[in-house]
């Protein structure tokens, strides 16, 4: 079966979307409990200088309505592609962070003719033991109404040892409060999907050039998960960020940006998307 016949029909898009910049398109897939600004905010303006950024928010994040049933990886992947097409972008590279890496891989296998490249950061093909435990903790603490403890878990899991070691107790309390205030309504739904997402069988089917970025100080998604992504995707390039945490600080994000720009800059010009892909969208599929 060729790539053209592998394409899945697109739903009517209904996610809140950030669109910024001009040039070749980058579709942004954020992480669980995150958002476009939270995951990509440090580099949005830079990337938008010469790329069109399309950043959909998952259900219950940004301005997207919360899900009414458990999230489905296929449906979420199709919604992100539909958002890009609705923004006038028929083909794109996909930049996935954490859960967004699994979403990006699924996009690449469901819509291969549209995907020119993948950048997978702090990603996983299936939840490793640490991530699975964290997802279970998020769900159980939330069910008990212990949202401040969810914020504490997020802080200790997602920041680097160096960043945490330099915080005074009062600063740590402020960080927890800020994290609590920023947690989206869909956080539990996102982490429920984290616990179920499995793209191991997709990896061998990915044909797009792929860059895998492994933050080596990540305590939420183990670096081994990035190694497994890179090993499973033919020709994938692996970059390690020594000491970097799950959420990249400004210094590590600038290093990330340098590698990502070099990778994107070396890609061949995208081929025109076949007109058969521009068919009318399928009826909406509820999330």
Residue 4 above 50 pLDDT? no
Q: How far apart are CA 1 and CA 8, in angstroms?
A: 13
Tell me the per-residue pLDDT of 79-95, one tens digit each, with 9 for 90 and over. Answer: 999 999 999 999 999 99
Tell me the per-residue pLDDT of 6-15, one tens digit each, with 9 for 90 and over. Answer: 578 899 999 9
Q: How far apart are CA 202 and CA 221, in angstroms?
A: 19
Tell me the pairing of strands 92-97 and 237-241.
unpaired
Tell me the per-residue pLDDT of 27-56, one tens digit each, with 9 for 90 and over. Answer: 999 999 999 999 999 999 999 999 999 999
Q: How far apart are CA 189 and CA 50, in angstroms?
A: 34
Q: What is the pTM of this model?
A: 0.91
Over residues 63-88, the mean pLDDT reads 97
């Amino acid at each position: 079966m060729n790539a053209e016949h592998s394409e899945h029909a697109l739903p009517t898009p209904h996610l809140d979307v950030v669109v910024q910049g001009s040039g070749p398109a980058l579709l942004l897939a954020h992480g669980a409990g995150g958002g476009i600004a939270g995951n990509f905010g440090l580099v949005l303006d830079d990337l938008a200088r010469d790329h069109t950024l399309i950043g959909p928010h998952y259900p219950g994040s940004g301005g997207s309505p919360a899900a009414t049933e458990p999230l489905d990886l296929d449906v979420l992947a199709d919604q992100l592609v539909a958002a890009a097409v609705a923004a006038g972008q028929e083909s794109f590279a996909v930049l996935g962070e954490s859960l967004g890496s699994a979403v990006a891989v699924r996009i690449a296998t469901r819509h291969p003719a549209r995907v020119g490249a993948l950048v997978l950061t702090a990603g996983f093909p299936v939840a490793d033991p640490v991530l699975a435990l964290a997802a279970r903790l998020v769900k159980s603490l939330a069910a008990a109404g212990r949202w401040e403890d969810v914020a504490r878990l997020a802080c200790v899991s997602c920041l680097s040892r160096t960043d945490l070691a330099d915080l005074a107790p009062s600063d740590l309390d402020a960080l927890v409060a800020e994290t609590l205030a920023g947690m989206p309504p869909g956080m539990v739904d996102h982490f429920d999907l984290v616990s179920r997402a499995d793209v191991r069988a997709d990896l061998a089917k990915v044909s797009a050039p792929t860059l895998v970025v492994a933050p080596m100080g990540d305590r939420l998604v183990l670096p081994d998960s990035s190694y497994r992504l890179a090993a499973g995707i033919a020709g994938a390039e692996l970059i390690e960020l020594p000491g970097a945490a799950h959420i990249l600080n400004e210094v590590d994000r600038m290093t990330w940006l340098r590698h990502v720009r070099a990778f994107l800059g070396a890609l061949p010009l995208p081929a025109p998307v076949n007109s058969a892909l521009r068919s009318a969208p399928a009826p909406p599929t509820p999330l």
